Structure 1
Amino acid sequence: MLGDNPVKVHLFHPFREDLLRELTFSPGLRKQARDILTKVKSKVKNQPPEITFVGVHIRRTDYINYIKKYNTTIPGKDYYVRAMDYYRKKYSHPVFIMASDDPQYCKKTFKPFKDVTVIQGNRELDMATLASCNHSIISVGSFSFWCGYLSGGEVVYPKKTYSMKYLLNPDYVEKNHLDFFTPIDD
């Protein structure tokens, strides 16, 4: 029994290489995810030699109220902008692939950013696409965690404090040796 926190990192992280090899998406989903990334890449102006795909997951709808039990809020726009700027400084041609349970919010909020593409698939396709990216920017929640963890690259997460023990805080990340997770202030 895992309890109400379905991400018990200490139970599976020692086997990360095996997990990344074994926890794969169906061939059909992998193809759809590759097709999405290929289509986005084809629209990038002045085709750079190498594009770094950064998957961005934004959890909103039900989590706006749910996260209150931890005496905090969901990450705001400023967190995502800081996280994207972090990758813009680190890589010469990052392209942000954004998925959310509130795609209209994302389209409206991130419209000015020409390097952001909002995708609208089902949950499975969204996860497969985000996990196919080189790196990740995640929100709170287990769906977001798994999108980042499965991508295999660096994962930026919101540095927040919580009134109760919760998955994504710097102490938990350090304790579980998630050295590829980087906190960014919310």
Structure 2
Amino acid sequence: MEKFRDPKWNRNRFLHIYPNGADVKETVSSINHPRFYEEYRKDMQLRPRFLDYGQRILTQVEMEHMGKLKKVSKKSKTSKKEMMFVGIHCRRTDHINYELENDMIPLTLDYYIEAMSLFQAKFEKTHHVVFIFVSDDMEWGKRKISKLKAFKDIVYFVGNNNGTDPDAIGNDLGVLVSCNHTIQSHGTFSDMAGFLTGGLRIIPHHFLQFRSKKHMKKKFLDQNPPAVRPRRLQFRSKKHMKKKFLDQNPLDHPLEGI
């Protein structure tokens, strides 16, 4: 972690995650180190106006969703559940070519379905689980997810869909950071969203089918199984559906043992 105190990285008012000449693999390894989160999370905060925007959006979503619930059920216990916001960041557009060029596996709809299913399995008995979708390709999300019966009424598409306007980018990050938990895609924007949000987060490398070659080189069987290890839902028995995948925070050691 000493490297982040080096003037090449630390510019006093900001931390340059990818300085010129830095080894990308070294950088990724460093920002995924648990101490990075411990040492820098308190100091790395969004501007208040972006956080205020995020809170306003979630308040609007909560009001809209509670209105839906009241129409469906008049039972008192429905209103007693708290709202649980899970932010989804879906990076697509130009990043897909970057992923293919760098031996990364582009995320399909299956990734988001499985990640959402895991959060539902953990929280649906105690909370109203609502997913907040932010992307640089909002139409893809609306087209794919809106057709899914299990999720169409609990996913809200609130992203600004503008990757060139700094205010739109800041507002999108403010929405994600205001959520309780995060489903990440590839890229540093996703990493920072999960990092600043805190809570639980699911990342692509948690799933074997979306694990890149460089992470496949990790000796999975040389170590004890990681504290958090997802299993594909279609191969999970009823008794294992009760296993609490999200009882421990994947943030602790996001890549170790995988």
- Is this a same-fold pair by TM over 0.5? yes
2-structure distance, mates of 1:18, 1:73:
31
Deviation per CA, 1:142-167, whole angstroms, max 9, x where unpaired? 1111111111111111133323469x
Task: Determine whether 1:3 maps to 2:23.
Answer: yes
Structure 1: gaps (5+ residues)? none
Task: Determine whether 1:70 maps to 2:102.
Answer: yes
Deviation per CA, 1:7-32, whole angstroms, max 9, x where unpaired? 44358641524422221111111111
Name the structure 2 match of 1:120.
Answer: 159
Task: Determine whether 1:41 maps to 2:73.
Answer: no
Equivalence map 1:1-186=2 (5 Å): 1=19, 2-4=22-24, 7-9=28-30, 13-44=34-65, 45-46=69-70, 47-92=79-124, 93-112=128-147, 113-121=152-160, 122-158=168-204, 159=207, 160-164=210-214, 178-179=251-252, 181=254
SS at match of 2:62: helix
Amino acid at match of 1:95: V
1-structure distance, mates of 2:185, 2:219:
14
TM-score, normalised to structure 2's length?
0.61
Q: CA RMSD in A?
A: 2.7
Identical amino acids, percent of aligned pairs? 30
Hey, which bits of structure 1, 4+ residues long, moved more than 6 A? none
TM-score, normalised to structure 1's length?
0.82
SS at match of 1:23: coil
Q: Is the 8 A contact 1:70 1:162 kept in 2?
A: no
The structure in which a higher percent of residues are strand is 1
2-structure distance, mates of 1:163, 1:25:
34
SS at match of 1:21: coil
Q: Which has the higher contact order (CA 8 A, sep 6+)?
A: 1
